[in-house]
A and B are shown apart, each in its own frame.
Chain A
């Protein structure tokens, strides 16, 4: 178990060493990143297999025991996400894409990817609020760099990155403020310790305010309703695999952070109602703007705002049930949205230019239809069962019926724009079919197929899969 701290340490060391090693040999430096990823996967995979259900452990650093030292908290959920992070990074790793004219920028991109990897692993494993803040900032800095580093359009990408930076850094300040408030109220930042004192010292106006500050601060990364104006701009300039990473993984990690704080520290009715409203508004705004979007990337990014709204709506259900549905939603969205972004490499971005795609390449369209059917929640795909579970459980809470109505309305809107798009793809337009099809990277296509297969397999194993996720959520402390 101690080895799991390497999840943060190795990528950090790698990130700082890569530029130095590149001075000696560029080809060695290129292999460091994938090697680190594979090695870490060889640690986390067995650890995940060996971890008995319900078992959890903590890694204490430098021999300081909690509440004084800092610790990593390891249970099934955090290990699952640690594995997913590694696999996702292996998929989006800029393998052999010579986007950059010189090796120098390429090497820097590898460093940034490794930094992002270290930060996301830290965010998933850490159980100390201030450590979470530090990892969150590290994640933010690495993502500003990755967004700004788009070959050929650096000026545009820098502008998008700067606008994102302003929003995200303000969010981080609010997060820090919330953490300061919690510290002055309780005198501790260890989440497990906080959960034992939460009832007496955080059940006040100041305590709720602290949670609000943290929620808005993290919400920037989690594409939460009022603070998601960066989404279309950033996804408009970055490459599709990177979009898949951001929409699929990074936003989920931020949600996981919120879920951790919400579940362990704040289980108050007023806060849960607030989360419900934020989630529902996110669903509605996301779908409505996606309906108006006229290009693929924007449509997918707005729809991911809506999907994350659904995750927040699920978190409003009190207790472990909420976590179970939220985690199921996150995993489903992670697979489907990443696959859609990977697949969109093969398509023209503009909706009008997608006409006749089916006649050029039927398999891509069939794959696309399969993915959006699950995204919409059409039976028998996994998306349907999750949405059904959400709706059934929502009916038991306050304002739940309003939320159900809005969620279903949003599904109709989503179906409207997705099926319009499919209709365009199926249209018989001989002149356009050459434009509609793009020769993207074969690797992205391959990953899209792979993710679709995962989705298909989970369709057939839905009952055992849902049981194991439910167990996982129940065993999270």
Chain B
């Protein structure tokens, strides 16, 4: 038992635990993106995937026994100080903000998709999207958008916001 405890303390350092967490988040997110069908869950998987990458990025500047990267006059032997790298922390802040923006945009797109297709199933949406695109190119000139309204109505491709109620 003591052998096992020794083993743990030698190899299971803080860094290893944190890196395992980051890679675990990445794997969970990627698996979710690959196997899930509900588009809202797909978006959540993307969020988890992103946080895994963010954790990984911030860990690249992390030292287990490091201190916050602030120099004060009270510190002695400066050359031996171990500090965390501040650059990845600055980078990850940017990355988090970008991630949140994209999530908000994706949510608004999901609302639009639900209004059009009345489903959240990715396969279903993909199938109907293919049909719609084929419909657009078959019969109507998407190219000239000077007269699209008439053509879309003719092919019942109008937005069914009102139609389905």
Spell out A's residues near B (CB within 8 Å).
97, 99, 130, 133-134, 137, 140-141, 144-145, 148, 151-156, 158-163, 165-166, 169-170, 173-174, 176-177, 179-181, 183-184, 187, 232-233, 236-237, 239-240, 295-298, 344-350, 438-441
The answer to whether A297 and B137 touch (CB under 8 A), given A134-B94, A154-B159, A177-B53, is: yes
Residue of A nearest to B153 (CB): A152
Spell out B's residues near A (CB within 8 Å).
26, 29-30, 33, 39, 42-43, 46, 49-50, 52-54, 56-57, 59-61, 85, 87-88, 91, 94-95, 98, 101-102, 105-106, 109-110, 112-113, 115-117, 125-126, 128-130, 132-133, 136-146, 148-149, 152, 157-160
| Other-chain contact of B46, A133, A170, A184 (Cβ < 8 Å) | A170
Chain B residue contacts of A130, Cβ below 8 A: 91, 94
Chain A residue contacts of B133, Cβ below 8 A: 156, 160, 232-233, 236-237
Bound-state CA distance A146–B140 (Å) is 21
Q: Are A173 and B105 neighbours in the complex by a CB distance under 8 Å?
A: no
Chain A residue contacts of B30, Cβ below 8 A: 170
Q: Are A163 and B145 neighbours in the complex by a CB distance under 8 Å?
A: no
Bound-state CA distance A166–B40 (Å) is 11
Q: Are A166 and B145 neighbours in the complex by a CB distance under 8 Å?
A: no
Q: Are B129 and A163 neighbours in the complex by a CB distance under 8 Å?
A: yes
Q: Are A158 and B105 neighbours in the complex by a CB distance under 8 Å?
A: no
Smallest CB separation, B66 vs chain A (Å): 14
Q: Are A155 and B149 neighbours in the complex by a CB distance under 8 Å?
A: no
Which has the most chain B C-beta neighbours within 10 Å: A151, A166, A346? A166
The answer to whether A97 and B145 touch (CB under 8 A), given A144-B105, A153-B157, A297-B137, is: yes
The answer to whether A180 and B53 touch (CB under 8 A), given A159-B125, A166-B46, A441-B144, is: yes
List 10 other contacts, CB 8 Å, given A170-B46, A237-B133.
A97-B145, A141-B98, A154-B159, A158-B112, A166-B42, A183-B91, A438-B143, A439-B146, A440-B143, A441-B144
| Cβ-closest 6 pairs across A and B | A155-B116, A184-B60, A158-B112, A236-B133, A180-B57, A295-B137
Smallest CB separation, A237 vs chain B (Å): 6
The answer to whether A152 and B129 touch (CB under 8 A), given A180-B57, A237-B136, is: no
Chain A residue contacts of B132, Cβ below 8 A: 153, 156
Q: Are B145 and A151 neighbours in the complex by a CB distance under 8 Å?
A: yes
Q: Are B143 and A155 neighbours in the complex by a CB distance under 8 Å?
A: no
Chain A residue contacts of B61, Cβ below 8 A: 183-184
Bound-state CA distance A260–B103 (Å) is 30
Smallest CB separation, A245 vs chain B (Å): 15
The answer to whether A158 and B109 touch (CB under 8 A), given A173-B53, A180-B57, A350-B137, is: yes
Chain B residue contacts of A174, Cβ below 8 A: 53
Smallest CB separation, B151 vs chain A (Å): 9
Chain B residue contacts of A97, Cβ below 8 A: 145
Chain B residue contacts of A345, Cβ below 8 A: 143-144
Chain B residue contacts of A152, Cβ below 8 A: 145, 148-149, 152, 158-159
Which has the most chain B C-beta neighbours within 10 Å: A170, A298, A346? A170
Smallest CB separation, A38 vs chain B (Å): 26
Which has the most chain A C-beta neighbours within 10 Å: B43, B101, B105, B117? B105
Bound-state CA distance A158–B146 (Å) is 21
Chain A residue contacts of B128, Cβ below 8 A: 159
Smallest CB separation, A340 vs chain B (Å): 12
Chain A residue contacts of B130, Cβ below 8 A: 233
Q: Are A240 and B143 neighbours in the complex by a CB distance under 8 Å?
A: yes
Smallest CB separation, A144 vs chain B (Å): 6
Q: Are B116 and A159 neighbours in the complex by a CB distance under 8 Å?
A: yes
| Other-chain contact of A236, B49, B125, B137 (Cβ < 8 Å) | B137
Q: Are B105 and A348 neighbours in the complex by a CB distance under 8 Å?
A: no
Q: Are A169 and B46 neighbours in the complex by a CB distance under 8 Å?
A: yes
Smallest CB separation, B50 vs chain A (Å): 5
Q: Are A144 and B109 neighbours in the complex by a CB distance under 8 Å?
A: yes
The answer to whether A347 and B42 touch (CB under 8 A), given A165-B102, A170-B33, A173-B53, is: no
Bound-state CA distance A133–B138 (Å) is 39
Q: Are A141 and B142 neighbours in the complex by a CB distance under 8 Å?
A: no
Chain A residue contacts of B140, Cβ below 8 A: 349
Q: Are A176 and B57 neighbours in the complex by a CB distance under 8 Å?
A: yes
Q: Are A161 and B109 neighbours in the complex by a CB distance under 8 Å?
A: yes
Chain A residue contacts of B112, Cβ below 8 A: 148, 154-155, 158
Smallest CB separation, B49 vs chain A (Å): 5
| Other-chain contact of A156, B50, B129, B143 (Cβ < 8 Å) | B129
Bound-state CA distance A180–B140 (Å) is 47
Q: Are B157 and A170 neighbours in the complex by a CB distance under 8 Å?
A: no
Bound-state CA distance A356–B116 (Å) is 37
